[in-house]
Structure 1
Amino acid sequence: MEAAAPPSLPGPRPWWETRWFVAAMILAAVIPLAYPPVPPLVDLLGHMGRYTVQLDLASSPELQRFYAYDWHLIGNLGVDILVIPLSKLFGLEMAVKLIAMSIPPLTVGGFLWVAREVHNRLPPTAAFALPFAIGHPFLFGFVNFTLSMALAFLAFGLWLRLGRLGRTTLRLVLFVPISFVLFFCHTFGWGTLGLLAFSAEAVRQHDKGVDWWKAALSAALHAVVMAGPVVVMLTWRSTVQSGGTADWFNLPAKASWIMMSLRDRWQWFDFACVAALLAVIVEARRRPELTFSRNLAFSALVLLAGFMILPRIVFGSAYADMRLAPFMIATAILAIRFRTETVMPLARKLAVLAVGFYALRIVATTISLAMASNDQEAKLDALDHVPRGVALVSLVGQECKALWALPRNTHLPAMALVRRHAFSNDQWTVEGANLLSVRYKAAGHFTADPSQIVRPAECESKEAWAAERALAAIPKGVFDYVWLVDVPPIDPRLVDGMTPVWRGPGSLLYAIGKTGDQPKP
């Protein structure tokens, strides 16, 4: 690993270092979500239900019957805050789409800015890192987290630039408010920025001739300017009974998270893509012409340490360690550069391969999200037959064996909350993780997530009941409608006393307490 980047090349820049190339890479990240009216990102639909309560509770007696919302400052408010002004301009669904569409291009811009600052140029391999902007965490709908990570990499680019220009006093002033913005967006982005800033500053100090121990101390003193949100976090966590923190050092799970970094729909394809990108890192280490920036390589190692230390569940929120994996790999790829002068024939080949790989992932993700959107839109026709403000209980079928394709309909029922102000039993009630609570205690087992998930009888669990058990357990006189989504054929006797209202692909809607002919399951 080399200590400093070679100087910029004289003369015209190669095409992968031009502004039009950067603009094209950023704009390409918008494409996958251009078609779907509602972004088919797994958890995002559930979040949209919460946004509806947040925005409409004061004016909706129907929502007041079912939900409460307690505004206070927590480290998980990124999109929750943005939808307030944007929904007034565009409506909630379009506002959410615009925000979701902005996250991948912001992330791509952050990746490329960091690479440019570290290497004095864009290396031809940089585009290999860009697919991680639309990786597993984003496709799972962790929008506050992924927005915070996009902002963290953009802020890291600014941190590097100000350090390179020697504007460290200005940097200290700017990063006080930046740290608070990131924290309130999502604590993970704030923490990641702290790790990146510390690691980069330690290398910068060492490259000035300071030994490693003093460099680390100096870097910590520079990064401590971002420690202000610790006070807010301690106050926040001390006032809630948060969920548990569990599943430490699960190495098999961590290995699987790495291979799932680009998880979407087709396992063989997603696996092959991750394997190819890991091979790029190995090849860069092997080839004599290539090396790694010590700055970003150290940052990648720090992120790796964080990934290994993090448990799977933090304060009741799952997949804490999984979320970091794509950004860790992306940072390692962004560290790749030529050892001395750029070998142009090899650089051109690498640039073409990198851009081609990025384009392949964009096309595949666009097709996958279009397929998911078409499926969801067909099922959402059921909501045209759901009256406003009713108590709706939904059951979403899932297989016993965890499928590679993301379970995109897990929170589809929340769209009944969004569009009809109906009760939906898919909302999260993890204290301290979000601000919504459920008032409709008569729902019993069907109060909150994951009560909407049902599985075949042979693999039911405490969290995911069998469909037959769930149907039989629906409390009498509490719900008005039952919506079955992707539920396999059931015993018709379980829907006795219910009236079929609508049937579509993989979807059945029943009214409770009415009579009528039932469609054949």
Structure 2
Amino acid sequence: MQVRDKSFSSVIRALWDRAGTLPWLSGPGIVLLVLAICLPFALVEVPPLIDVPGHMGAAAIEAAGPNSPLEKYFSWKWVFTLNIGGGVLMKVLGAQFGILAAGWWSTVLATGLFAGGGLATIRMLNPKGGHGAAWALMFVFSFPLLTGFLNYILATGLSLSAFAAAVWLEKQPRNRAILLIVAQPVAMLCHAIGGMLLALLVAANAFGREIDRLPAGWWKPANARQLAKELDWKAIALRLWILCWPLLATVITIVLWKYLSPEPVRSLNRWRWDQKAWYLVLTLRDQSLLLDGATTFLCFVLIAFGWAFGARWKWQLGMPGLLVFLLFIAIPSDINGSAFVDVRLLPVAAMLALGLQDWSQAGDKRARIVATAGMLLLAVRLVVTGASFADYADDYRKQLAALHHVEPGSRVLAFVEHSCLEESWRNTRRDHLASLSSLYRQAWVNDNWAVPGLHMVIPRFRPGRNFAADPSEFVWSPRCAGRRMRTVDYALSKAPIERVDYVWLIDTGLPSNPDPRLQLVWQEGRSLLFQVRRLSIPNWKPQDF
């Protein structure tokens, strides 16, 4: 029996070697892994990612017809900006299947593209040494996706997929150039930073390959001087030009954006160095401090000390992850009103670093241990994610029951308690749940993103200063240390209650001094819906501010 087993394993290993790739990086293997990553979404109707309800609310505003009450409250203006991928995808899908299904499918497609693009990149660059692929996949459900940065995830998935295809087409330079020239503006229109990754990865791969061609010890000063005289710089420049000239499409896209996009209102760029440091720890924050902390620690150990266990460093494989990490360090944290720009890059850098470690020469036993441990840990995390999705779906149903008591076309002033790390490692993900008022009840709500030059939603009804759009819905728990925003009591004391129909408090608890104009019509735990009594709304015009 042992002889048969040994013979069978030898046959399997021979088939793997003949195929030139590891089984989980084969076509069927990639499909199965992507399906496993997307499986938690089968448990929900509204994806429980923080920003996704906001995207769905915005899509409802865009799709509103002339007879919709939303036409009185909002207008929508498509602009040429590098942040419209999710909106376009939801419009295309929503026209056929409705906004609710469009929001679900857009999220699943973006997630699948992110995971599939990462696996395809590992397959093309590291087909026999990608034993860290499962470790890389743990960074799919990381900060950018769990926050619901749909445009960024979609653009990054497109960039990874197009990069893998470009590597595959290197022997067909014409087709490769056409692919890159088309893919770069498409990815950048989805999201500037996610789309820019395509040019970065192509350039990193090309320059890394040239460095690998240099003789051993080239970096030593004595060798470097001699090598500089002997190298055929024209041949190197020609090879780099052939691989990189299509990247001019990224430059052209940026120039067109600068000239055609409206000037953003917020042009302040800020580097938040404390944020960069914190997200080295927080990028895998999900449900369990113990599980997420242990996963982060093990992943960083594998990245930093994989060489000690037999992983080989090659510049062609290491440069993509290294340059993405350096970009994370270098770029501002806030750009033109968009926050968390830098920390979105960290999971991509980790994914590339783990997946492109070459374990092919580490020995079968060590490589199998790395692969098996990664698969088991990924399976545990997916089970936890699936269970959390079921919990979030139940919570969303309970919270959204408030909308059964809201008249269609009403004005809903919402306040949601923003969860802080001091209170709970697990995020409630209710931050933009109020946006679904526009989807389910065609109602006005103060939860929409409306930064001119960045977003397409334009509020026409503004009940009061600082109460027309995001982040006017956020309040903080008094238990949050060093809170930067107001409590629910302070927000209600300043709110234009007389100009709205309902006040929806999500997970805030009962105010200390309830306004006598507010009549409680629904309650679920710490969430409450009040109808405004004796409302006297003055005449207003769409241009009122």
TM-score in same-fold range (> 0.5): yes
Q: Does residue 281 of structure 1 match 2:307?
A: no
Inter-CA distance 18–169: structure 2 relative to 1 (3 Å threshold): closer
Inter-CA distance 408–84: structure 2 relative to 1 (3 Å threshold): same
Deviation at 1:217, TM superposition (A): 6.5
Q: Distance in 2 between matches of 1:254 and 1:133?
A: 19
**Deviations 1:182-232 (Å, cap 9, x if unpaired)?**
111111122111110111122334556667884766655353244331232
Q: Distance in 2 between matches of 1:116 and 1:509?
A: 52
Deviation at 1:168, TM superposition (A): 2.0
Deviation at 1:395, TM superposition (A): 1.2
Q: Does residue 265 of structure 1 match 2:271?
A: no
SS in 2 for 1:495: coil
User: Could you tell me whether the CA contact under 8 Å between 1:125 and 1:354 is conserved in 2?
Assistant: yes
User: Could you tell me whether the CA contact under 8 Å between 1:128 and 1:333 is conserved in 2?
Assistant: yes
Inter-CA distance 79–41: structure 2 relative to 1 (3 Å threshold): same
Name the aligned partner's letter for residue 351 of structure 1. A
Q: Distance in 2 between matches of 1:462 and 1:123?
A: 44
Q: Greater shift after overlay, 462-471 or 317-326?
A: 462-471
SS in 1 for 2:48: coil
SS in 2 for 1:443: coil
User: Could you tell me whether the CA contact under 8 Å between 1:246 and 1:312 is conserved in 2?
Assistant: yes
Q: 1:190 pairs with 184, 189, 195, which one?
A: 195
Q: Distance in 2 between matches of 1:14 and 1:120?
A: 6
Name the aligned partner's letter for residue 525 of structure 2. P
SS in 1 for 2:139: helix
The 5-angstrom pairing of residues 280-429 of structure 1 reads 280-287=302-309, 289-338=310-359, 340=361, 343-398=363-418, 402=422, 403-429=424-450
Q: 2:56 pairs with 32, 35, 48, which one?
A: 48
Q: Distance in 2 between matches of 1:193 and 1:55?
A: 31
- Structure 2 spans left out of the alignment, 5+ residues: 1-15, 215-230, 536-545
Q: Distance in 1 between matches of 2:148 and 2:61?
A: 19
Q: Distance in 1 between matches of 2:482 and 2:467?
A: 15
Return the index of the structure with the highest Cα Rg. Answer: 2
Deviation at 1:57, TM superposition (A): 4.7
Q: Distance in 1 between matches of 2:369 and 2:421?
A: 41
Inter-CA distance 330–459: structure 2 relative to 1 (3 Å threshold): closer
User: Could you tell me whether the CA contact under 8 Å between 1:199 and 1:219 is conserved in 2?
Assistant: no
Q: Distance in 2 between matches of 1:173 and 1:351?
A: 36
The 5-angstrom pairing of residues 232-243 of structure 1 reads 232-237=256-261, 239-243=262-266
The 5-angstrom pairing of residues 110-149 of structure 1 reads 110-121=117-128, 123-149=130-156
User: Could you tell me whether the CA contact under 8 Å between 1:172 and 1:225 is conserved in 2?
Assistant: no
Q: Does residue 90 of structure 1 match 2:127?
A: no
Inter-CA distance 308–11: structure 2 relative to 1 (3 Å threshold): closer
Structure 1 equivalent of residue 169 of structure 2: 162
User: Could you tell me whether the CA contact under 8 Å between 1:378 and 1:505 is conserved in 2?
Assistant: no
Structure 2 equivalent of residue 446 of structure 1: 467
Structure 1 equivalent of residue 221 of structure 2: none
Name the aligned partner's letter for residue 195 of structure 2. W
Deviation at 1:11, TM superposition (A): 7.3
Structure 2 equivalent of residue 75 of structure 1: 82
Name the aligned partner's letter for residue 533 of structure 2. G
Q: Taking structure 1 as the reference length, what is the TM-score of the superposition?
A: 0.89
Q: Distance in 1 between matches of 2:128 and 2:431?
A: 43
Q: Greater shift after overlay, 378-387 or 461-470?
A: 461-470
Deviation at 1:40, TM superposition (A): 1.1
Q: Distance in 2 between matches of 1:413 and 1:507?
A: 12
Q: Distance in 1 between matches of 2:437 and 2:306?
A: 50
Count of aligned residue pairs for this structure pair:
501
User: Could you tell me whether the CA contact under 8 Å between 1:67 and 1:437 is conserved in 2?
Assistant: yes
User: Could you tell me whether the CA contact under 8 Å between 1:414 and 1:427 is conserved in 2?
Assistant: yes
Name the aligned partner's letter for residue 473 of structure 1. K
Deviation at 1:128, TM superposition (A): 1.0
SS in 1 for 2:180: helix
Q: Greater shift after overlay, 185-194 or 145-154?
A: 185-194
Structure 1 equivalent of residue 112 of structure 2: 105
**Deviations 1:98-135 (Å, cap 9, x if unpaired)?**
11112222222111211111124362221110111221
Q: 1:435 pairs with 451, 456, 468, which one?
A: 456
Q: Greater shift after overlay, 312-321 or 239-248?
A: 239-248
Name the aligned partner's letter for residue 202 of structure 1. F
Deviation at 1:17, TM superposition (A): 4.5
Q: Taking structure 2 as the reference length, what is the TM-score of the superposition?
A: 0.86
Q: Does residue 180 of structure 1 match 2:196?
A: no
SS in 2 for 1:448: coil
Structure 2 equivalent of residue 4 of structure 1: none
Inter-CA distance 82–130: structure 2 relative to 1 (3 Å threshold): same
Q: Distance in 2 between matches of 1:170 and 1:399?
A: 49
Q: Distance in 2 between matches of 1:88 and 1:11?
A: 43
User: Could you tell me whether the CA contact under 8 Å between 1:117 and 1:160 is conserved in 2?
Assistant: yes
Structure 1 equivalent of residue 33 of structure 2: 25
User: Could you tell me whether the CA contact under 8 Å between 2:510 and 2:526 is conserved in 1?
Assistant: no
Q: Distance in 2 between matches of 1:18 and 1:195?
A: 26
Inter-CA distance 134–407: structure 2 relative to 1 (3 Å threshold): same
User: Could you tell me whether the CA contact under 8 Å between 2:158 and 2:195 is conserved in 1?
Assistant: no
Identity of aligned residues (%): 26
